[in-house]
Amino acid sequence: MASKKIKKVRYFFLIFTFSFLAGSFFFIFENFGLLSLRDYILETPNADVEKLFWELLPSECIRYWPVMVFKSSQIRISMEKTIPVQVSTEAKGVGLFHTRISFIEPWLMVEWNGKIWHLSKESYMWAPELYSVEVANSPLWKISEALTQYFNIGNTFVIDGVFSAMLPLDELKRFEAVFIAQNWYADTEYIELGRRAGEILIKISLSLNGKKIILIINEDEDKLSKIDMFLEQILSQADMGDGTIFIDMSYPDKVVVTRAKGA
């Protein structure tokens, strides 16, 4: 009986000691702020981005800096899904953190799924109202459903905020690299990518020397790199009047040129 009483006393003493030490620990750190953030360096492109960051930062991260170590990745994911930014956070010492936030630069303006989007080279898409800047010397790229239907979007795919582009990015980069080196690119209204007979078909609308031109061409590398030369030859050889000129270069052995009067 005596041994049982001694065990109970020891058990009670251990619980009391643990509770006392734990309470003292939290009292000290709660009242003296020994685990609170000592400093935080935040670099943002504007005040709106800075406001969003502080709204997403849990208050416990300020009171207990070790929490920031675990929460920083959650904050980054939340911000990068909400607006087109890249976020990086690093610890600079005990209770010292440095966060850098920068906008993702748009690469192309694309028309897809019935709307206009910004597209980055990192394969992110977002609506212009989230963050819009002019894409210099870039026409509108129209992406047809026929070109993207082989992507399995699925029911869980949400077109909201910043999302991964469901587009043939490698093809866009390939075509843009060929086109941007040619003189006509700066005068282009839009470039439309579709699919015909298993290959990509490209429709280009541009205004050249005061003439409206609709050019249709397939993805043949040799033809694509010589559009400048073809346009110069065709426009110099024929008097096409004032209507829209249609040039179909998608055939393997011929180029068809027609004019729509008054178009």
How high is the pLDDT of residue 155? 46
Identify which has the larger pLDDT, 223 or 4: 223
d(CA 41, CA 227): 51
Q: Is the pLDDT of residue 27 over 50?
A: no
Is the distance from CB of 250 to CB of 214 less than 8 angstroms?
Answer: no
How high is the pLDDT of residue 84? 94
d(CA 236, CA 216): 19
Q: Which two tokens stand for residue 69?
A: 């170590």
DSSP bridge partners of 85: 103
Pairing relationship of beta strands 140-143 and 115-119 according to DSSP bridges: unpaired
Q: What is the mean pLDDT of residues 33-46?
A: 75
**In the chain, % of residues over pLDDT 90:** 38
The amino acid occupying position 234 is I
Pairing relationship of beta strands 108-112 and 96-103 according to DSSP bridges: unpaired
- List pLDDT tens digits, range 45-55: 999 999 999 99
- List pLDDT tens digits, range 83-107: 999 999 887 777 788 899 999 999 9
Identify which has the larger pLDDT, 249 or 131: 249
- List pLDDT tens digits, range 118-165: 999 999 999 998 887 766 668 999 998 777 654 544 445 567 899 988
How high is the pLDDT of residue 158? 66
pTM: 0.77
d(CA 193, CA 168): 10
For residue 72, how many other CB atoms are within 10 A of its CB? 19
For residue 181, how many other CB atoms are within 10 A of its CB? 10
